[in-house]
């Protein structure tokens, strides 16, 4: 047994610092392991006791003459390095370090990891709450949540960084009736991290739902790969990330960087993997609960049948916000619904009205008619107080359950107030049960398939970093020259230093022209008068050069002016922001959105891990609001060349990936998407 198996399902476990007091950190795991009936060998280590909680104790690991799969270390932080080193030397295959004080000295952590990695030992922690495996009865944890909420075996695996967060989720989920396969907290993640645990559970036959919560991540690509592996294995992943890191924005040296911080990138990664992100503990619990009751929704189509018009409106609003589709019932179905209950109204949500109170079996009939006329993956059945009236519930119970049996692939969610017995009865017949219709809608949305990318980018030998961009990248002109050599298209332009050469350059590129200042001290030229457009002849060009030099000096007296760019002014088209940023967690990402001077004000951007192919680039562009409409042709304008624009996006993403060790960010703002072709009009490269 090696690796993570020794953490999750050890055959023997040594508890170093074991205590006879089950309320102490060193005593709790032994107490829980015995309570769970753990079938492996229990080896408490305590130098001053012959027996701990009825189990023979050992003074040290050296006294044990048998293999030990896992050691749980619950000693003072200053003792951890010595104890862990002894464990590694003894041949222990995995370590859990509960101790919170260890790690304050970075050198101690480095030494421990060097020794562990050399021996192939995995380390969980330090400062972790531990883990349990409800399937095998292994409870290597000191979680206080287990005092009042012992887990039942089920299919939900939980992976969190924070022990307190994870244990509180466990308590809420256990009270909601969820059963668990595994629960693990990773703490300070000196070695084993959330991604490792997700990848492990992706291959675990007992786990069908993976719930993960984290505060941060050191290796975003590793996390993305683990999430993709879980999805490929058919697991439902529900994710939550708390905290919006300022690192991405603080490190930004371009427009693009200021628009694509870590949290936005995290959102984009989950979206592209088809994974829903919960915004609260309650959402996380409710989605996990729904995923364990009845079939998972096959797609994002839902039917809402309600006894209240107001609840129907509330449900429709919630569905739109959550991204669920509410296709209308067919014309024929609508006519049949009206025949059953003449006061019924709506095409979806379907309002049965209170008129069915005399024969509540009509509720099931109306739902059946709607399902016969249109395919739905989920049904939300709002039934208010019906279950609280025995006579009313008796009319509806059997017809409702018969309907559930007739449509076995459809997820049925019941929204009503009921007693515990009725709730359990509904669940036993395959209904998830909610009191709040919005919670039901959100849970269905979280468990419904999202469109995902076909696969994540996997680096090949040709994609390894090492290529360099030669020459300085201080000015727009130098950045354009470097990017043009790498295949990025720009408008024809020349760099000049005086009036006469400017006129010659304008004749070569063709009037009208754009004039820009060239200075290594000015990143955003428009703000200091460093850009003039619509210069139609040599006289206008000469006057603009003189005026621009004076204006720039007035705004930035110390700026070094090295010349001017004279570029052909391309007319028409849509201004699009295209750029890249090296995210501190996920590495290079590509960003597209509304461009020009309003890029940051409108904040209409979409982000994806770089590099992207043409299909992904087109999808990325289509997800924007303004940019997508402009490219499709707005109010009679000619549509832009989306193929050329997508090619530019894909190419700049490849440049960012290939040069990821050299380039921190690239800003092409704007890119002009014309009816034929797409050209970057400005360029800024931020290097390390």
Distance CA 218, CA 220 (A): 6
Whether the pLDDT of residue 251 is over 70: the answer is: no
Whether the pLDDT of residue 253 is over 50: the answer is: no
Q: State the average pLDDT over residues 562-581.
A: 93
pLDDT tens digits along 660-671: 999 999 999 899
pLDDT tens digits along 418-432: 999 999 999 999 999
Q: State the average pLDDT over residues 606-629.
A: 88
ω into residue 291 within 30 of 0, thus cis?
Answer: no
pLDDT tens digits along 24-56: 999 999 999 999 999 999 999 999 999 999 999
Helix axes 437-447, 281-291, angle to 10 degrees: 70
Whether the pLDDT of residue 69 is over 50: the answer is: yes
Order of strands across the sheet that contains 12-16? 41-45, 12-16, 70-73, 94-97, 122-124
Beta pairing partners, 325? 301
Q: State the average pLDDT over residues 248-274.
A: 63
Tokens 């000469």 appear where? Answer: 542
Whether the pLDDT of residue 607 is over 50: the answer is: yes
pLDDT tens digits along 398-412: 999 999 999 999 999
User: Tokens in use for 342?
Assistant: 């003449």
pLDDT tens digits along 71-113: 999 999 899 999 999 999 999 999 999 988 786 778 889 999 9
Mean pLDDT, the chain, whole residue set: 91
Q: Considering only residues 276 and 365, tell me which one the structure prediction assigns the higher pLDDT.
A: 365
> Are 255 and 577 spatial neighbours (Cβ–Cβ below 8 Å)?
yes
Q: State the average pLDDT over residues 297-320.
A: 96
Position 624 confidence tier, pLDDT thresholds 50, 70, 90: confident
How high is the pLDDT of residue 417?
A: 96
How high is the pLDDT of residue 597?
A: 61
Whether the pLDDT of residue 636 is over 90: the answer is: no
> Are 502 and 566 spatial neighbours (Cβ–Cβ below 8 Å)?
yes
pLDDT tens digits along 197-209: 999 999 999 999 9
How high is the pLDDT of residue 633?
A: 72
Going along the chain from its start, the domains and CATH numbers come out as: 5-243 (3.40.50.720), 302-447 (3.40.50.261), 492-568 (3.30.1490.20), 574-687 (3.30.470.20)
Cβ neighbours, 10 Å, residue 100: 16
Q: Cα-Cα-Cα-Cα dihedral of 191, 194, 196, 202, to 10°?
A: 170
Q: Considering only residues 64 and 248, tell me which one the structure prediction assigns the higher pLDDT.
A: 64
Distance CA 198, CA 212 (A): 8
How high is the pLDDT of residue 333?
A: 95
Tell me the pTM. Answer: 0.90
Q: Considering only residues 574 and 54, tell me which one the structure prediction assigns the higher pLDDT.
A: 54
Q: Which DSSP letter does residue 374 get?
A: S
How high is the pLDDT of residue 249?
A: 38
> Are 370 and 378 spatial neighbours (Cβ–Cβ below 8 Å)?
no
pLDDT tens digits along 429-488: 999 999 999 999 999 999 999 876 545 555 444 454 545 677 788 999 999 999 999 999
pLDDT tens digits along 485-534: 999 999 999 999 999 999 999 999 999 999 999 999 997 888 899 999 99
pLDDT tens digits along 160-190: 999 999 999 999 999 999 999 999 999 999 9
Tokens 């370090």 appear where? Answer: 97
How high is the pLDDT of residue 598?
A: 63
Distance CA 453, CA 147 (A): 43
Position 568 confidence tier, pLDDT thresholds 50, 70, 90: very high
């Amino acid at each position: 047994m090696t690796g993570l198996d020794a953490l999750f399902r050890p055959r023997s476990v040594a508890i170093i610092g074991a205590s006879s007091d089950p309320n102490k950190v060193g005593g709790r795991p032994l107490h829980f392991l015995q309570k769970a009936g753990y079938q492996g060998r229990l080896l408490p280590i305590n130098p001053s006791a012959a027996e701990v909680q009825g189990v023979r104790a050992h003074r040290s690991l050296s006294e044990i003459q048998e293999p030990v799969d896992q050691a749980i270390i619950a000693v003072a932080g200053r003792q951890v390095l010595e104890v862990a080193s002894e464990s590694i030397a003894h041949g222990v295959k995995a370590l859990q370090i509960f101790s919170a004080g260890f790690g304050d000295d970075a050198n101690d952590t480095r030494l421990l990891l060097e020794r562990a990695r050399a021996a192939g030992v995995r380390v969980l922690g330090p400062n972790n709450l531990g883990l349990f495996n409800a399937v095998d009865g292994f409870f290597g944890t000191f979680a206080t949540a287990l005092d009042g909420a012992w887990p039942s075996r089920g299919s939900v695996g939980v992976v969190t960084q924070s022990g307190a967060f994870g244990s509180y989720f466990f308590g809420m989920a256990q009270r909601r009736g969820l059963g668990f396969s595994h629960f693990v907290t990773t703490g300070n993640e000196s070695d084993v991290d959330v991604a490792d645990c997700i990848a492990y559970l992706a291959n675990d036959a007992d786990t069908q739902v993976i719930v993960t919560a984290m505060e941060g991540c050191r290796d975003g690509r590793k996390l993305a790969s683990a999430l993709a592996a879980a999805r490929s294995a058919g697991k439902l992943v529900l994710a939550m990330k708390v905290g919006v890191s300022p690192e991405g924005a603080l490190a930004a040296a371009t427009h693009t960087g200021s628009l694509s911080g870590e949290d936005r990138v995290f959102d984009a990664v989950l979206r592209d993997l088809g994974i829903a992100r919960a915004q609260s503990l309650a959402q996380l619990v409710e989605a996990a609960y729904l995923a364990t009751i009845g079939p998972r929704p096959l797609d994002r189509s839902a039917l809402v049948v309600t006894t209240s018009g107001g609840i129907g409106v509330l449900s429709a609003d919630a569905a739109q916000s959550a991204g669920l589709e509410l296709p209308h019932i067919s014309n024929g179905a609508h006519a049949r619904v009206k025949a059953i209950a003449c006061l019924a109204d709506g095409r979806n949500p379907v309002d049965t009205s209170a008129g069915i109170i005399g024969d509540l079996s009509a509720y099931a009939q109306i739902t059946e008619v709607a399902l016969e006329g249109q395919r739905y993956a989920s049904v939300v059945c709002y039934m208010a107080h019906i279950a609280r009236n025995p006579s009313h519930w008796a009319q509806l119970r059997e017809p409702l359950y018969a309907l559930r049996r007739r449509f076995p692939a459809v997820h049925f969610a019941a929204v009503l107030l009921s007693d515990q017995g009725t709730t359990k009865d509904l669940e036993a017949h395959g209904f998830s049960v909610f009191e709040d219709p919005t919670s039901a809608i959100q849970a269905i949305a979280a468990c419904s398939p999202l469109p995902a990318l076909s696969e994540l980018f996997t680096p090949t030998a040709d994609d390894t970093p090492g290529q360099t961009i030669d020459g300085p990248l201080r000015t727009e002109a130098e950045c354009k020259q470097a990017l043009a050599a790498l295949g990025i298209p720009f408008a024809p332009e020349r760099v000049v230093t005086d009036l006469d050469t400017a006129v010659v350059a304008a004749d070569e590129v063709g009037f009208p022209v754009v004039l820009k200042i060239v200075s290594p001290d000015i990143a955003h030229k428009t703000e200091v008068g460093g850009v003039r457009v619509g210069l139609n002849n040599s006289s206008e060009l000469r006057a603009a050069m003189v005026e621009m030099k004076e204006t720039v000096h007035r705004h930035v007296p110390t700026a070094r002016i090295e010349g001017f760019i004279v570029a052909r002014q391309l007319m028409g088209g849509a201004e699009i922001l295209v750029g890249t940023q090296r995210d501190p967690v996920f590495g290079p990402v590509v960003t597209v959105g509304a461009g020009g001077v309003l890029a940051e004000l409108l904040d209409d951007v979409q982000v994806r891990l770089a590099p992207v192919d043409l299909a992904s680039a087109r999808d990325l562009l289509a997800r924007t609001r303004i940019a997508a409409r402009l490219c499709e042709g707005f109010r009679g304008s000619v549509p832009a060349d989306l193929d050329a624009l997508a090619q530019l996006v894909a190419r700049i993403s490849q440049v960012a990936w290939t040069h990821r060790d050299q380039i921190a960010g690239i800003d092409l703002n704007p890119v002009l998407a014309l009816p034929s072709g797409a050209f970057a009009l400005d360029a800024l490269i931020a290097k390390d």
